[in-house]
Amino acid sequence: MKLNANPPPLLLQMKLGPPLLDGRAKGFNWGLYSVFSSPEALQKYAVSEAHVSTVEKHVKPNIEDILAYDFELDE
């Protein structure tokens, strides 16, 4: 599922989906994959009103637990 047809400029790509292998998901039933233009863009997005508001209003009320894991890919 694609979340936003017009993502903010800091955010290049965002996708949401269920795990393909339930046994490896450690009880989590959704994953969010995001690609940012730079590590600095991730830092700006993480504290942006759009992100904080979405997490507070739509994510936290619908979850029991959350895991965030950020890393940089070597290109």
Nearest to 32 by CA among 46, 49, 14, 58: 14
State the architecture of 1-75 in CATH terms: 2-Layer Sandwich (3.30)
For residue range 12-21, what is the model confidence (pLDDT) as tens digits? 999 999 999 9
Question: pTM of this prediction?
Answer: 0.75
- Six token digits for residue 3: 């979340």
Domain positions in the chain: 1-75
Tell me if residue 50 falls in helix, strand or coil. Answer: helix
For residue range 19-75, what is the model confidence (pLDDT) as tens digits? 999 999 999 999 999 999 999 999 999 999 989 999 999 999 999 999 999 999 887
